[in-house]
Structure 1
């Protein structure tokens, strides 16, 4: 008994010491956090997993990818997974040295400087808010089916707004509630993925593994590589979310060790679950020709209905809806921390408002409100588009990838100028080659996203994704030059790169 009490006291002492170390490290970086470090390592990983959300990623774009490139589209999950793992490793080194709330914005700030950080954050927050809208909108058809509503744009928008409302309410509950919701979301989603995928493989498998190498004429006589790259949107949309582990760095004890590990685990576990679900769905589709021709426009519903019947499908749909909800609340949490981080550094109009904290819940309520209202407006605007899901997803993914690669580029520039990662997680001599591969992959993925593939469409429609990226970056540059938001900020910036001593600067 005495030994058990001693161990408990030792653990408490260790936890208290870790808290002191975390606070001291944060103070050394120039900040004093108002967040509570109540997010466990398990909750931090769950936050990244539910943001990545295998069910959301696969169910949202499975029909599009299968119709575009046939069963071999599944290989894009492996290609993209490896590329994004390189990005996650770079991010792991950065967050280990700079465990600050807000993710890509403070990382870009310390690696490069205020102007680059402001533009990086602008691109990323715009994409993040649209991503929240895309997840909420994507939940609409499944919510309609679950509750027996008529499928249509109006009900889809209504369901999406309800998802946003519920996610906001949970986020306003504070760090502990967010962590608990993330764990519940992870447990529900991983169980659902394994149970649904396993059942489909055991009872509804119509094909052998050979179909994974047969395009079933999906290219329509053209280049299959072109079709495969287009279908690769399912993989590109799937593999981000790991950065959310770092967005809440000031809410995790011992973040310099735990967050890089949580990022990698998000890629490993999320990638396995996504590939497993995708494989089970592919092998359970009864007629690939019907999907490719457009006759079966929703193969996911077709497969689930045949496998589980009316009652069983309701249970599966409930799991899917929980996955969409947990993904939306994780995205909201990440967006609110980024807005707060911006405002804390006085880089936004009304910074005093957006950096304000609830003294009871220790969350930034006004930043959370922005992460609810703006996605809601995007959802409402979706009524103007006939292909809202693909358009919203393409725009959101491009912005996320641009934000990622701005950090990867900043890290590479800093390395060349002498930065040596000094956190508790480093890649050592592998850091530079991994950084280069991560940048090359990201640039290739961005080119794939913006490549025009519908020559028969009006030019503005064919180049819509590229135009959206130009518009966001261009608007950010205009604001950067005209309003000079970085000029109000005195927080540390660009300090990752070693500065010459006064003696060396004088040539002595």
Structure 2
């Protein structure tokens, strides 16, 4: 993978079109136009996390991303649990993206809108993504670049056209709630709508998941991560802003009279034929995002299995000789999300619940690495990769950890009091179950004791460097 292909992978994983189009209606109905500012707040917080990750991956450019990073920074047990949580979150994110694509694909192919058609379209999307991923890294790189191009069309061309032809408001609406959240505290409504920003800004870590498939990764991957935040974040804000200013009646969205404002906007702006073309571009964006997520999840499983740290390791670490990809790990990365999509039929507001659970798990995995980096730094670790923060390392790491903890509290907070207690707490309960199962598996099977990969050596390596020893290879 070239630098641009690696950046395109992270960009399509972060996916401005997918992130905004999936949750725009929910966020706008919850907090009105000011929900836009959550993209700015979260963008700053996640940029801090990306800087921390950049230092780590620059020193440890190992396939699998946060699992091997946590292993080198802290040790076997911490790394195993980090990877376990992150893996489940990745699989749930794949399901959330596929489920979010369902309504748009149903409209594209002329299906009537229903839960059943959404599920069928999501399953088809997962199957297509699996087939493309099995084609190998070159196929993935090509698909990522095509997806990146589609994202730019969807973000810049569509957004620009909306601003030129369908702008019904000025920028002042970004400070007007139009009655959203009037039933209680507006701050609570804004925090709830903040899920659109929190869901938007991850994917940059995928650049590091394929570190062993990128030439000169110690320089290229940190740069690709930062580019993902810069470009992806700017594109997401542009998409969101163009859609907000194109909404004719905010009250109709907030009151539920217009539950699908994006379809209303696209139909008005582009007509039936043009609307189909835009839906096709959106569909490609969702597919490319699913491809990137599936690639990241399969590489994490492969990295786990290569170290013998998960049940079925002998199968999951198998590499297809002709394609140089882990086919069985990829199959799992498609099958588990398919099961989540099928099970979602029993939960109210399934899309929000799936995305909330996935995002909480991703953030927990992220912050376990950030905490490991902070601990290692306080114990003497000095990053020795090509990308280093220098004196800014400690304050940036502390700030990233603080942001992440606050974001996780916001994600897990129960917000459906009228639902059954288990449905109201399903995000926190689901995460607790994943952690509990992981701890049980770790205690009984002791998978962290397998494998001979380096672990917990960051601090020792820094001590050796201070004593004049050559840097570890």
In 1, distance between residues paired with 2:16 and 2:422?
32
* CA distance in structure 2 between the aligned counterparts of 1:464 and 1:383, rounded to whole angstroms: 14
Q: Which of 286, 311, 324 is the equivalent residue of 2:273?
A: 311
Paired residue secondary structure (1:129):
helix
Taking the aligned partners of 2:342 and 2:178, their CA distance within structure 1 comes to 37
Matches within 5 A, 1:365-380: 365-380=327-342
Deviation track 1:469-503 (CA, whole Å, cap 9, x = no partner) reads 111111111111111111222211000012778xx
Where does structure 1 lack aligned partners over 5 or more consecutive residues? 1-38
Question: What does residue 470 of structure 2 align with?
Answer: none
Q: 1:276 aligns with which of 238, 242, 248?
A: 238
CA distance, structure 1, for counterparts of residue 214 and residue 445 of structure 2: 35
For 2:88 and 2:378, locate their aligned partners in 1 and report how far apart those are by CA, in whole Å.
30
* More divergent stretch after superposition (95-104 vs 448-457): 448-457
Aligned counterpart, 2:415? 453
Q: What is the distance in 2 between the residues matched to 1:162 and 1:457?
A: 31
Q: Name the structure 2 match of 1:263.
A: 225
Q: State how 1:339-378 maps to structure 2 within 5 Å.
A: 339-378=301-340
CA distance in 1, matches of 2:452, 2:65: 19
Aligned equivalent of 2:359, options 397, 405, 408: 397
Please list the CA deviations of residues 174-197 of structure 1 after superposition, one character each: whole Å capped at 9, or x if unmatched. Answer: 111111110010011112211110
| Kept in 1: contact 2:347–2:423 (CA 8 A) | no
Q: Distance in 2 between matches of 1:133 and 1:221?
A: 32
Give per-residue Cα distances to partners, 1:297-356, cap 9 Å, x unaligned.
111111111111101100100000000000000000000000000001110122121111
Of 490, 494, 497, 2:456 maps to 494
Superposition RMSD on alpha carbons, in Å? 1.2
User: Relative to structure 1, is the Cα distance of residues 453 and 388 closer, same or farther in structure 2, using a 3 angstrom cutoff?
Assistant: closer
- After TM superposition, the structure 1 = structure 2 runs for residues 420-431 of structure 1, keeping only pairs within 5 Å, are 420-431=382-393
Shift of 1:88: 0.3
Q: Give SS of 1:498's match.
A: helix
2:155 to 193, 196, 207: 193
Query: Matched residue of 1:219: which SS?
Result: coil
Counterpart for residue 44 of structure 1: 6
Flag as ranges the 4+ runs of structure 1 deviating above 6 A: none
Q: What count of residue pairs does the alignment treat as equivalent?
A: 464
1:453 and 1:427 mapped to 2: Cα distance?
A: 39
Q: Residue in 1 aligned with 2:294?
A: 332
Match in the other structure for 1:245: 207
- 1:24-79 CA-to-partner distances (Å, cap 9, x unmatched) read xxxxxxxxxxxxxxx11100000000000000000000000000000000000000
Match of 2:405 in 1: 443
* Alpha-carbon distance in 1 for matches of 2:30, 2:116: 27
Instruction: Spell out the pairing of 1:288-303 with structure 2 (5 A cutoff).
Output: 288-303=250-265
**Structure 2: where are the runs of 5+ without partners?**
468-473
Distance 1:355 1:475 in 2: 22
How high is the TM-score relative to the length of structure 2? Answer: 0.96
Q: Which residue of 2 aligns with 1:123?
A: 85
